[in-house]
Amino acid sequence: MVQAPPAPWIGASLPRVDGISKVTGRARYLDDLPAAGAWHGATVRSDIAHGVLEALDFDPAFDWSSVVVVTAADIAAQGGHNVIRLIQDDQPALVPVGGKVMHAHEPLALVAAPSRALARAAAAAVRPRIQPLPAVLSAKDALAGSVALHGTDNVFKSFLIRKGHREDAELERALASAALVIEGEYTTSPQEQMYIEPQAMMSSWHDGRCHIVGSMQCPYYVHKAMKTLLACKDDEVVISQSVTGGGFGGKEEYPSMIAAHAALLARKAGRAVKLVYDRDEDIAATTKRHPAWIRHRLGVDASGEPVAIDVDVVMDGGAYLTLSQVVLSRGVLHAAGPYRCPVVRVRGRVVATNHPPHGAFRGFGAPQTTFAYERQMDKLARARGEDPLALRKRLALRSGDTTATGQALTFSVGTDAVLAAIERAAGPPPQRAGRSLAGSPLRRGRGVCFYFHGAGFTGSGEARLAGRAAVAVVLPSGAEAASAAPVRFEVRSSSTDIGQGSITMFSQIAAASLGCDPQLVRVIDPTTDKVPDSGPTVASRTCMVVGRVVEQACRTLRGRLEAWRAARGPAAESLSLPEVAAAMARELASDGKELVELVQYEPPPGIVWDDDSYTGSAYPVYGWAACLVDVAVDLDTYEVSVLRCVQAVDVGKAINPVIVRGQIEGGTLQALGWALIENVIYKDGKVANANMTNCIVPTFADAPELETVLVEEPYPYGPGGAKGVGEIPMDGPAAAVANAVEDALGCAFDSLPISPEKIATALRQASARSDGKAGVP
């Protein structure tokens, strides 16, 4: 048999499959879906952080006959369990009367009405009576333990990584032997995902099933949660993703909550109910990036070689566990950084507070710990008078080295390539002093950083998850029958396209593997009764893991088609692959069978992970990246401008380079925003800046021209060599900014965001130290 020509679709920047529907406004997001007769839902929330819900009072002046009200009592009445199932069943869908309110903005009751305005009015006419309890409003308070929210110590989960030592005393001895120990303490702020489409969900009950459609990343997370909440069997709940206007982790776990509410309302109202959050509600109530408090010690010998690293990570999990332990896990697994070191200890704790639960956000714990270790590396360079990039080149992990968990790196290590790319792009550093157009003095500086990101689920996660995807041959029917195409190849997976381009990417992978035109491939919308569970759309795994499964399904199918053709002898020789597929599908159809290939993910060989000791292969492969940032600080206003931002990322193989660039640049700007201007401000446990005016993200005018370098160190077990890219661009740039600001001003900034207010304070303190002399040291 003749080998197929090399697949031209891998590495081609095909236009996005859903592009035209999006630029014309025809793409229908949840709130755009026709919903004749649907009612609108609204949520009654707590306005205090901790207390006992004594009663829900209903304003007698309101006409309650015109609306439907759901409380926790309705869940049990239908045999369901009042819990949003995830890792631990600790978060209720609605706080029951008599139960504890654990955070501000927590859902207490639901209403539905024929119009949005009436639903809002009804929600406002429900008056919760809450007996306040003392609240825990920071991780430090949680650890102090004066109020117990979880167990006796408020620790949801802790992890310990030890490398090269067995007891703490050994670690301390190693640090004591160091010629130089860099000690630092770092804090990072909560961050709002700020997808531009607010959370939205619609539910209706018909055909004996509960149907839920909405904006989400993980249809099977919602499916699992609904079965428990609604006491339904597998096939009694159908979850479909609508076109989703961004997620970034924010639509990973929280949609289960909104789906629960929509389903409960729809069941009681006996009609479809739409639940669309307003922006203010979305910012206040849904998850944010975990704020973190990280202490880091880095000891080196006289030659500058690391002898020991000790990291202590504390994250504020908020009121319920949700995904916090997994976020913490990824945080600690990245905390020692991509640097060689014989002795490493990483301790991590995520604690309970009365903040709204913190949750998934691009990077998933790694940006927090990356910020800390890359500040540390910069301080080491400064202390030794060593060039910061040279230091990273000297200490970075390479093939043959082992990580903090003892994982030996053997392939796809892009260290040298990404560092070389940054070196090439660097050019001369910016002139230190200058003046702005407005006449203010400027100080400029440069920062670099180097980082890695484990792609796919942690440890044995992928093996446990066993994600599946299928490719089916679908014969044209109806209007399609007249078209020229003999068949289409239907890719079925639960991976959602939330803007990252998975539909296009899967089309390219399938076309390349089948040896057909991508026009013949259709990636169908994820609906739980039509697609297998491919695992969630998270963890930089969609292309690398699910794309791999799609690739294998298509290869297997192609093998079957070619075997079928070969078996039919010369008569079939001239048939094209799609024609063979059509003939074979017809043959199977006559037996009532479908021509379909369902494949389950198989982790690459040699992945061994031990959850008890936290040792082994934490991830099947890592992405590698380096970043260079030049900044200017205005000495009148203390505002930081990012003059340049170059990021080089080892992506294994870019299936679609333009889409990959878009992923990297989007993540980069989220990281620059987190570094400088983004913040969620809690006051008494409530979000004090719950609107887009005050909870700001960068605009066109704030963003620098972003320079992106794609590096390709192929991953042998990824589709076409690809590995994860979604999260890594979020990890490093914040540290690069902090390093650049320190370079510019000579003061350290170890707390995010590096706001003008913090810079003003730091410069004032610095000038007070230098004898009250005004200006910059």
Binding residues for other proteins restricted to 280-299, rule: CB under 8 A: 280
Q: Among 215, 214, 212, 216, which residue's Cα sits nearest to residue 226?
A: 212
Residue in 4, 8, 15, 559 binding other proteins, rule: CB under 8 A? 15
Binding mask 449-468 for other proteins (x = CB under 8 A): --------------------
Burial 413-424 (b: 16+ CB within 10 A, else e): bbbbbbbbbbee
Dihedral angle sign, alpha carbons of residues 722, 727, 728, 730: positive
Residue in 2, 3, 24, 569 binding other proteins, rule: CB under 8 A? 24
Of 440 and 527, which CB lies nearer to other proteins in the complex structure?
A: 440
Of 405 and 540, which CB lies nearer to other proteins in the complex structure?
A: 540
- As measured in angstroms, the least distance from the Cβ of 246 to other proteins is 4
Of 197 and 533, which CB lies nearer to other proteins in the complex structure?
A: 197
Return the residue matching tokens 């259709």: 522
Q: Among 715, 724, 687, which residue's Cα sits nearest to residue 542?
A: 724
The answer to whether residue 176 forms part of the interface with other proteins (CB under 8 A) is no
The answer to whether residue 519 forms part of the interface with other proteins (CB under 8 A) is no
Where in 112-151 is the site for other proteins (CB under 8 A)? 116-117, 120
How many Å apart are CA 733 and CA 751, to the nearest integer? Answer: 14
- As measured in angstroms, the least distance from the Cβ of 136 to other proteins is 22
Of 48 and 194, which CB lies nearer to other proteins in the complex structure?
A: 194
The answer to whether residue 625 forms part of the interface with other proteins (CB under 8 A) is no
The answer to whether residue 20 forms part of the interface with other proteins (CB under 8 A) is yes
- As measured in angstroms, the least distance from the Cβ of 22 to other proteins is 3
Of 22 and 209, which CB lies nearer to other proteins in the complex structure?
A: 22
The answer to whether residue 427 forms part of the interface with other proteins (CB under 8 A) is no
Of 201 and 328, which CB lies nearer to other proteins in the complex structure?
A: 201
Residue 652: Cβ within 10 Å count: 29
Binding region for other proteins (CB under 8 A) out of 363-371, 400-408, 617-625, 665-673: 665-673
Binding region for other proteins (CB under 8 A) out of 85-93, 272-280, 414-422, 506-514: 272-280
How many Å apart are CA 453 and CA 333, to the nearest integer? Answer: 10
Contact criterion met (CB below 8 Å) for 359 and 722 = no
How many Å apart are CA 6 and CA 515, to the nearest integer? Answer: 9
- As measured in angstroms, the least distance from the Cβ of 106 to other proteins is 21
- As measured in angstroms, the least distance from the Cβ of 10 to other proteins is 17
The answer to whether residue 635 forms part of the interface with other proteins (CB under 8 A) is yes
The answer to whether residue 703 forms part of the interface with other proteins (CB under 8 A) is yes
Residue in 670, 710, 718, 727 binding other proteins, rule: CB under 8 A? 670
- As measured in angstroms, the least distance from the Cβ of 221 to other proteins is 19
How many Å apart are CA 44 and CA 120, to the nearest integer? Answer: 9
Contact criterion met (CB below 8 Å) for 196 and 250 = no
72 token code pair: 């926790």
Residue in 4, 8, 21, 59 binding other proteins, rule: CB under 8 A? 21
How many Å apart are CA 573 and CA 318, to the nearest integer? Answer: 64
Q: Among 368, 361, 331, which residue's Cα sits nearest to residue 252?
A: 361
The answer to whether residue 25 forms part of the interface with other proteins (CB under 8 A) is yes
Contact criterion met (CB below 8 Å) for 648 and 389 = no
Can the peptide bond before residue 753 be classed as cis, meaning omega within 30 degrees of 0? yes
The answer to whether residue 199 forms part of the interface with other proteins (CB under 8 A) is no
How many Å apart are CA 374 and CA 604, to the nearest integer? Answer: 30
Where in 233-252 is the site for other proteins (CB under 8 A)? 243-248
How many Å apart are CA 333 and CA 241, to the nearest integer? Answer: 32
Residue in 691, 765, 769, 773 binding other proteins, rule: CB under 8 A? 691
Residue in 22, 81, 295, 586 binding other proteins, rule: CB under 8 A? 22
The answer to whether residue 701 forms part of the interface with other proteins (CB under 8 A) is yes
95 CB burial (10 A radius; 0-12, 13-18, 19+): buried
Residue in 55, 73, 196, 566 binding other proteins, rule: CB under 8 A? 196
Q: How far is residue 491 from each of residues 207, 465, 509, measured CA to CA in Å?
A: 26, 20, 10
Where in 730-759 is the site for other proteins (CB under 8 A)? 756-757
- The torsion angles phi and psi of 605, rounded to 5 degrees, stand at -65, 155
Q: How far is residue 306 from each of residues 180, 336, 393, measured CA to CA in Å?
A: 9, 11, 13
The answer to whether residue 644 forms part of the interface with other proteins (CB under 8 A) is no
Binding region for other proteins (CB under 8 A) out of 76-84, 482-490, 499-507, 624-632: 499-507
Of 31 and 594, which CB lies nearer to other proteins in the complex structure?
A: 31
Of 63 and 235, which CB lies nearer to other proteins in the complex structure?
A: 63
The answer to whether residue 773 forms part of the interface with other proteins (CB under 8 A) is no
How many Å apart are CA 555 and CA 551, to the nearest integer? Answer: 6
589 token code pair: 């159809």
The answer to whether residue 11 forms part of the interface with other proteins (CB under 8 A) is no
Of 365 and 673, which CB lies nearer to other proteins in the complex structure?
A: 673
Residue in 51, 92, 198, 337 binding other proteins, rule: CB under 8 A? 198
How many Å apart are CA 770 and CA 773, to the nearest integer? Answer: 6
301 token code pair: 């010998």
Of 117 and 160, which CB lies nearer to other proteins in the complex structure?
A: 117
How many Å apart are CA 725 and CA 633, to the nearest integer? Answer: 31
371 token code pair: 């910020």
